[in-house]
Amino acid sequence: MWQLNFNIFGIALAYWVDYGLNSPRALVKQGCMDDARDVINMSSLEADPTEREYYTNITMSVIESSLLEEAECSSSWRDIMTQGRPRFFQRLVLAVLSLCMLQLSGINLITYYAPTIFEDSLQMSHKMSLLLAGFNGLEYWIATFIPIPLIDRLGRRPLLLFAAVGQAISMAVLAGSTAYPDSTACGIAATVFLFFFNTFFGIGFDGIPFLLPVELTPLQTRAKSVSIATGCFWLCNFFVVMISPVLINRIQRGAYLLWCGTNLSFIPLIYFLIPETLNGTLEDISVLFEDSGGAWLIGPSSRRKLASIIAKREATEAHEVSDKEGVLQIMAEHIENDKRA
């Protein structure tokens, strides 16, 4: 039956590749302006033809400006391995680190091998193991909704640190409880902390590591840096999935101690290396790295420094708006005086 699940999505993907619409951005990049306008026009929700045309023109202008800026800011593969004031290499390392931490948390041990854990380590029946694994996946999905209202209030770092601590504790309890498979109390504790692990992971590590590579890397190197980070992400995925059954069979509860150790190691890495990006624009984050003085341990002070950078930018923008309003007021007075004359 598992082949059916893969085939359904494979068929849908094959259909989309052959018959789906290209994105307007890709069409503009290929010089197919008319086709790009048609796609934008079709995707518009405006009922009025005039408003739809206006929306299409604005969108085309934004896409063309974005592609022009991208061409001006292009970089080579050598550039991302250099530091300089923009700190390209440091930002690449942080992008790779965030995605590798996701995989090395041990989530795939729980996701892929939950039935095996319930059946072999906790001596549950095959049917009960599959049922609990299904509920574990459902609870994991529900937990991913928890950070949605929190990520732009508390920030990225607090959620990551909270999740790393919770995941380490969960793995430690699993290591202790699976040592006594015949104990009902230990079986209940292991089951509960399997669910707890997914909850902590859903709160911190499920989405934020995918967000950070885009936020931390500048436009000049973003495509290449995120590509490298994504490649490392899947290499770590392959590594974890391949060694997990061996670990379960050979060292059993030692597997949970291993992932407990990796989660504990994430705490200082997150605290010292990964900066807070809350409320900052991409330009603000670039200024944060440029003003770091070449330091790698920018995490602890990043929130305060970024808040200062944001405050300066907002003050400058407010001053510019005030100047524009003053100019407009003077122009209006001149027009009024001319009318009176």
310-331 pLDDT, tens digit per residue, is 888 888 777 765 655 565 566 6
134-174 pLDDT, tens digit per residue, is 888 899 999 999 999 999 899 999 999 999 999 999 999 98
Residue 227: predicted pLDDT: 92
Residue 327: predicted pLDDT: 57
Query: How confident is the model over 188-214, as a mean pLDDT?
Result: 91
Inform me whether the pLDDT recorded for 1 exceeds 80. Answer: no
Q: How far apart are CA 108 and CA 238, in angstroms?
A: 10
Residue 320: predicted pLDDT: 64
Residues 162-196: b if buried by 16+ CB within 10 A, e if exposed? bbbbbbbbbbbbbbbbbeebeeeebbebbbebbbb
In the chain, domain spans: 86-288
Query: How confident is the model over 27-32, as a mean pLDDT?
Result: 85
Q: How far apart are CA 44 and CA 238, in angstroms?
A: 41
Are residues 210 and 99 in contact, defined by beta-carbon separation less than 8 angstroms? yes
74 vs 249, higher pLDDT: 249
Position 64 confidence tier, pLDDT thresholds 50, 70, 90: confident
Inform me whether the pLDDT recorded for 71 exceeds 80. Answer: no
Q: Return the minimum-mean-pLDDT range out of 2-11, 132-141, 180-189.
A: 2-11
Position 335 confidence tier, pLDDT thresholds 50, 70, 90: low
Query: Tokens representing 124?
Result: 């549950």
Nearest to 154 by CA among 317, 333, 303, 45: 303
Query: How many percent of the chain have pLDDT more than 70?
Result: 87
77-107 pLDDT, tens digit per residue, is 887 888 777 888 999 999 999 999 999 998 9
Q: Please state at what angle helix 222-250 crosses helix 253-273, rounded to 10 degrees.
A: 150
Are residues 172 and 247 in contact, defined by beta-carbon separation less than 8 angstroms? no
Position 265 confidence tier, pLDDT thresholds 50, 70, 90: very high
Position 44 confidence tier, pLDDT thresholds 50, 70, 90: confident
Residue 74: predicted pLDDT: 66
Mean pLDDT is highest, among 155-164, 189-198, 248-257, for: 155-164
Residue 273: predicted pLDDT: 93
158 vs 10, higher pLDDT: 158
Are residues 233 and 102 in contact, defined by beta-carbon separation less than 8 angstroms? yes
Inform me whether the pLDDT recorded for 338 exceeds 70. Answer: no
Candidate CATH numbers 3.30.70.2190, 1.20.1250.20, 3.40.50.1820, 1.25.40.10; the one for domain 86-288: 1.20.1250.20
Position 337 confidence tier, pLDDT thresholds 50, 70, 90: low
The contacts of residue 77 (CB under 8 Å, 6+ apart) are: 224
Per the prediction, the chain carries an average pLDDT of 84
Residue 18: predicted pLDDT: 66
